Structure 1
Amino acid sequence: MLLPQLPEDVLYHIFSYLDYKSLSRLSQVCKTIYYFVNRDAVWRRIAKDFLNTGITRNGTDIYHHIPLKERVKIAQNWYDGVCKRAIPLKWRTKLLPWLQLDGDVLFLSQAADIGVYPLRQDYGRLQRNPLKIYSGHNGDVCRFVLTDSHLISGGSDGKILVHSRRSDMTVELYGHNQEVNCLDSKDGLIISGSRDQTARIWTFTSSCRRDTIPMYDRVWSVGISPALSSFVTGTACCENFSPLRIWDVERLECVCSLGSEFRRGAGVLDMVFETPFQLFTCGYDTFIRLWDLRLSPRKCVMEWEEPHDSALYCIQTDGNHMIASGSSYYGVVRLWDKRQTKCLQFFQLSSDKVSSPVYCLRFSSSHLYAALATSLHSLDFRHNPIPIR
């Protein structure tokens, strides 16, 4: 019996023993094997071991519209740091920009406006003129988040604006007395934190503030758990308590504090919930930390240290093995493999003469976008893909 004549379940079993290079060579045997090997089911196991293939730890496929074989090729470039660099946008005034990526559309805040930039699928480049602009703040936009139907922004004027993505309607919430440093929103719930040392809670069903929590310290970051039962606040750590605290959504009571050995000033600047029980944080103390919220007491189970002792302004994960971080000096972006403690790759985006933090970064399966003080940078990992033969 010839190989193509074997039952499909037998072929799947045989191919499960092959690595990605062997599979690609096998696909050149004949057309029948080629079409079979190119199926996502054949590559799914291999893709789980690569960085940023879109297969999360729980098995969800984020980029299901892209063949897995192609994603594995690009993932090898992420691992090796092979990419093409570009600066799609520049501006003259130094800003504190923020980014959100939604499919093939990039949202970028510049001063008081948020521009909507479609991405060209052929090159992954930005359309230079924004398709739409969200405005309404009297000062700079400090943070904004996206939901399926709304864009929610917080500004240096203390305002929180809820923009409809389907119409021109904008609702202003009763904001803060000082600038809004952070925002998060999930399933109709909005949490904000401010320099005025408070965290505030709203729901979409009412434009009135549901409640205010005094924090007694500047709030730099907030994150709502995917389970929606709790949220986490990260403060400047200028007082004698942990900068990370978990709050119950219904009772608005502090459930617990995370960690006890933060030095003064080790504020938490960004946080990402990967699952309801896994929280990643970063900040002024130069560490990325992974917190397991299932343990009792809840504690840090792994950490990665920025090798050049720079504050970490932002992080993002791929839901599986990769972390990307942005540093406070020279526009340094680092890629980390969670299975290792040392940095995997780094990219310096600003020059030694003109240093800028990476204020925000976002990535897709093939591109990473980083916002610096005067420019937006892109890294295209499809460039010169490593051949798999």
Structure 2
Amino acid sequence: MAAAAEAAAVEPAVRPAAGPALWRLPEELLLLICSYLDMRALGRLAQVCRWLRRFTSCDLLWRRIARASLNTGFTRLGTDLMTSIPVKERVKVSQNWKLGRCQEGILLKWRCSQMPWIQLEDDSLYISQANFILAYQFRPDGASLNRRPLGVFAGHDEDVCHFVLANSHIISAGGDGKIGIHKTHSTFTVKYSAHEQEVNCVDCKGGIIVSGSRDRTAKVWPLASGRLGQCLHTIQTEDRVWSIAISPLLSSFVTGTACCGHFSPLRIWDLNSGQLMTHLGSDFPPGAGVLDVMYESPSTLLSCGYDTYVRYWDLRTSVRKCVMEWEEPHDSTLYCLQTDGNHLLATGSSYYGVVRLWDRRQRACLHAFPLTSTPLSSPVYCLRFTTKHLYAALSYNLHVLDFQNP
């Protein structure tokens, strides 16, 4: 009965009074029959009549297809992260990601070379520019911005190296060795000295901040307003820390270091005690520093860096090894990565601002989008994407790839 209710909820419609016997089947049985059809067959069936077009548009028939497609809002666990958008519409846009069909544009430009970082939240984009973080609101098309910033967040004496959004706060890491705390909807700003050298990376979850620095330490801090700046743990990493991430279980965090010592650049630390729990991998060549790392789930981790590989790690106690890897075909450093939590992976490389799309079920790259020419060659320092757009921050501008309107 629930399936029939979902089909009927698409749009009220009256079945044709005459026609094949198929039309007169109970809706539950008709849904079962249609569930065996692929995307092309469902599309052709929708062309038969208005009633079938409405019936074959119900989310129930498209969920199975969406879970196997790229960037439709479904995670590997089957969770739907975008319940407000019809699944059929997401599958249609997904075909553009698969085929590499998009329209490129430039959202912002600046005159001086920068190393910007970006984050997305709802209909807003946050981007670091020198020692500021600016917030912009997207226009309804998602491929352009309102030119006047919603907010400007200052406080660092040198460039912002990295920042994250958490609990209506912006937590920023600066080249001045300080961490900044800003409230997104007010002028509240606090900064405190955190490291002896620049803070390269920061993460925040569950009221806890972790930071990593060039001074070869990682530190743990509380976000609570009465305890800002009180260091809970100082960890000697014996190597420069380039990337850091807290586990979704809030029990541990991972550091990605420069790989200049005789140990793995990927190590996992206990968040409560600051003690080393384990290290990942043992065959990294010298200098294979990890520039970006992210948890996909409590037991899986993605990393990339100077050695030109994206690696997928299984963190379960009995495994704890790399179970899949993807190599950048032009031997280019990978600065950043992002995943839809399912099949799509995007990476940003150091030569000519190349953004690559990967289907994680394949080893070869799906598509490459060079965003700069030779005179203005720049790495992709950070990228983020939604189901319709991909945003990439380079030295002189912020690019958008629009997959909704290619």
Q: TM-score scaled by structure 2?
A: 0.92
Q: Which residue of 2 aligns with 1:8?
A: 27
What SS does the aligned partner of 1:350 have?
A: coil
Whether contact under 8 Å (1:173, 1:209) holds in the other structure is: no
User: In 2 relative to 1, CA 32–288 (structure 1 residues): closer, same or farther, beyond 3 Å?
Assistant: same
Cα distance per residue 1:47-89 (max 9 Å; x no partner): 0111000111112212222111111111100011100000111
Q: Is the 1:222–1:271 Cα contact (8 Å) retained in structure 2?
A: yes
Structure 1 residue 141 corresponds to structure 2 residue 160: yes
Q: Where does residue 125 of structure 1 map in the other structure?
A: 144
Aligned counterpart for 1:247 among listed residues 255, 261, 269: 269
Q: Is the 8 A contact 1:174 1:209 kept in 2?
A: no
- The answer to whether structure 1 residue 153 and structure 2 residue 175 are counterparts is no
Cross-structure match for 1:262: 284
In the other structure, the counterpart of 2:379 is: 357
Correspondent of 2:104 among 61, 85, 96 = 85
State the Cα deviation string for residues 103-122 of structure 1 (Å, max 9, x = none). 22111111011111111113
What secondary structure does 1:209 align onto?
coil
Of residues 296, 301, 316, the one that matches 2:318 is: 296
Query: Given the alignment of the two structures, is residue 64 of structure 1 paired with residue 83 of structure 2, yes or no?
Result: yes
Name the SS for the 1:336 alignment partner. strand
2:198 is aligned with 1:179: yes
How far 1:39 moved relative to its partner? Answer: 1.4
Q: Secondary structure at the match of 2:98?
A: helix
Please report how far the alpha carbon of residue 297 of structure 1 lies from its aligned counterpart in structure 2 after TM superposition. 4.5
How far off is 1:211 after superposition?
Answer: 1.4
Equivalent pairs, count = 384
In 1, the alpha carbon distance for the partners of 2:390 and 2:340 equals 12
SS of alignment partner, residue 147 of structure 2: coil
Is the Cα contact below 8 Å between 1:278 and 1:290 reproduced in 2?
yes
Match of 1:212 in 2: 234
State the alpha-carbon separation in 1 of the partners of residues 163 and 59 from structure 2: 35
Report what 2:134 is aligned to. 115
* Identity in percent: 57
Asked if structure 2 preserves the Cα contact closer than 8 Å seen for 1:4 and 1:32, the reply is no
Residue aligned with 2:374, SS: coil
Secondary structure at the aligned position of 1:25 is classed as helix
Q: Which moved more, 1:355-364 or 1:158-167?
A: 158-167
**2:392 is aligned with 1:373:** no
Which of residues 370, 377, 381 is equivalent to 1:348? 370
Answer whether contact 1:362 1:369 (CA < 8 A) is retained. Answer: yes
Separation in structure 1 between the aligned mates of residue 269 and residue 168 of structure 2, nearest angstrom: 26
Matched, 1:42 2:61: yes
Shift of 1:197: 0.7
Contact 1:234 1:245 in 2 (8 A): yes
Q: What is the distance in 2 between the residues matched to 1:254 and 1:84?
A: 46
Residue 40 (structure 2) aligned to one of 4, 21, 30: 21
Amino acid at match of 2:243: S
- The residue aligned with 2:73 is 54
Q: Does structure 1 conserve the Cα–Cα contact (< 8 Å) formed by 2:155 and 2:191?
A: no
- Code of the residue aligned with 1:143 in structure 2: it is H
User: Larger radius of gyration, structure 1 or 2?
Assistant: 2
2:353 corresponds to which of 317, 320, 331: 331
Q: CA deviation at 1:36?
A: 2.0
Question: Is 1:15–1:42's contact at 8 Å kept on the other side of the alignment?
Answer: yes
Q: Check conservation: 1:289, 1:303, Cα contact below 8 A.
A: yes
In 2: Cα distance, 1:242 partner to 1:81 partner: 36
- C-alpha distance in structure 2 between counterparts of 1:10 and 1:297, whole Å: 44
Q: CA RMSD of the aligned region, Å?
A: 1.3
Unpaired runs of at least 5, structure 2: 1-19
Question: Residue 114 of structure 2 aligns to which amino acid in structure 1?
Answer: L
Q: Spell out the pairing of 1:99-110 with structure 2 (5 A cutoff).
A: 99-110=118-129
Shift of residue 353 of structure 1? Answer: 2.3
Tell me how far apart the structure 2 counterparts of residues 353 and 158 of structure 1 sit (CA, whole Å): 33
Aligned-pair distance for 1:272?
1.4
Partner of 1:387: none
Displacement of 1:176 in angstroms is 1.1
What TM-score do you get using the length of structure 1 for normalisation?
A: 0.96
* Structure 1 runs not aligned, ≥5 long: 385-389
What whole-Å deviation, never above 9, does each CA across 1:126-147 have from its counterpart, x for those lacking one?
1222111111111111000011
| Bigger relative contact order, structure 1 or 2 (CA pairs below 8 A, ≥6 apart) | 1
Q: Which position in structure 2 is the counterpart of 1:276?
A: 298
